[in-house]
């Protein structure tokens, strides 16, 4: 497994991080034992970077992750990089809450759920326009000083929001959505992170399953799967992007890869992207995803991918307030 230094954090992490959004209940039912096996298998294959969030099942995802890695967390804590996120309250009167009080409560709850003494990387899950950036940043710095967290990042922030945070304490990492059908960060966000040495770990490199090549027009989702309400998986948008996936699949197959591997490799090939977060509910999909970190795409191949996706429809995803 290839590793990289995650921006100004100085942490050496695997270029593929294991993500656990799918283990919180928002993607339908899952087999917890299979999920634990998937996490352990990823670790056996060299992944040392694991990302979760308090909001994924209100701590359920954190509990599963902590239980899966318990032996190594007890034996060799420094060998693992555990990232989690807080600052939102899905379903609450205030879905986004990056206030000092809520962040502190969140950190304490995450530490208990994960059963660890410190969090390697704590990220503000979504920007909260109701709380001054100075309050959010200073609250997190206080918890760094207390030893509860080691590094501070943000998720889903734009360049202006990161700059406001930076005026109080540096943004060390950013976790944005990024894939072949969602490329908005290329305009202002990635230039900002490159200029300020911000470590970038992108989520949804497989477009929430669309770029796995396993979907068709007949694909449906369980009622408790957020994709059942998403415009990205319905109607003309879904149909047109499936046609793009078909073309990408042919291109990937010709070079001996799965389209999912091509999609992950594409994200990692973009300047300024350090890590791609990939999730799985069972061990069988892990090896293919991890192999993507070793794929090198030439300039000509990257240009061909641009051509094949030129008519793709840009899509959005889930937010604390609902699904686009």
Active site (catalytic) residues:
56
Determine contact, residues 141/169, Cβ cutoff 8 Å.
Answer: yes
How far are the Cα atoms of 35, 173, 197 from residue 203, in angstroms, in the given order?
18, 13, 19
d(CA 40, CA 25): 20
Strands (E), 48-107: 49-51, 81-86
Would you give the distance in Å from CA 7 to the centre of its chain?
16
Q: Which is it for the CA torsion 6, 8, 9, 12, positive or negative?
A: positive
d(CA 310, CA 303): 10
In sequence order, the 6+-apart residues with CB closer than 8 A to the CB of 228 are 220, 221, 222
d(CA 210, CA 193): 27
């Amino acid at each position: 497994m290839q590793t990289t230094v995650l921006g100004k954090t100085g942490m050496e992490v695997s270029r593929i991080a294991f993500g656990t959004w799918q283990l919180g209940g928002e993607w339908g039912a899952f087999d917890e034992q299979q999920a634990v096996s998937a996490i352990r298998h990823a670790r056996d294959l060299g992944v040392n970077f694991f990302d979760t969030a308090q909001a994924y099942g209100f701590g359920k995802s954190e509990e599963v992750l902590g239980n899966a890695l318990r032996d190594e967390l007890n034996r060799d804590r420094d060998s693992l990089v555990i990232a989690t996120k807080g600052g939102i309250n899905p379903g609450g009167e205030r879905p986004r809450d990056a206030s000092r009080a809520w962040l502190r409560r969140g950190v304490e709850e995450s530490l208990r759920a994960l059963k660890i003494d410190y969090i390697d990387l704590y990220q503000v899950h979504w920007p909260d326009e109701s709380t001054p950036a100075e309050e959010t940043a200073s609250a997190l710095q206080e918890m760094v000083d207390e030893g509860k967290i080691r590094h501070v990042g943000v998720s889903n922030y734009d360049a202006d929001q990161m700059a406001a945070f930076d005026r109080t304490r540096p943004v060390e990492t950013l976790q944005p959505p990024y894939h072949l059908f969602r490329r908005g960060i290329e305009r202002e966000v990635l230039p900002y992170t490159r200029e300020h040495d911000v470590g970038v770990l992108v989520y949804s490199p497989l477009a929430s399953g669309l770029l796995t090549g396993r979907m068709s027009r007949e694909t449906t989702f369980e009622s408790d799967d957020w994709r059942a309400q998403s415009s990205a998986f319905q109607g003309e948008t879904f149909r047109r992007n499936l046609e793009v996936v078909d073309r990408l699949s042919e291109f990937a197959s010709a070079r001996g890869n799965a389209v999912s591997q091509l999609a992950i490799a594409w994200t990692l090939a973009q300047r300024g992207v350090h890590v791609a977060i990939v999730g799985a509910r069972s061990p069988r999909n892990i090896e293919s995803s991890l192999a993507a970190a070793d794929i090198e795409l030439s300039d000509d191949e990257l240009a061909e991918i641009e051509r094949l996706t030129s008519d793709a429809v840009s899509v959005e995803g889930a937010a604390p307030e609902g699904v686009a």
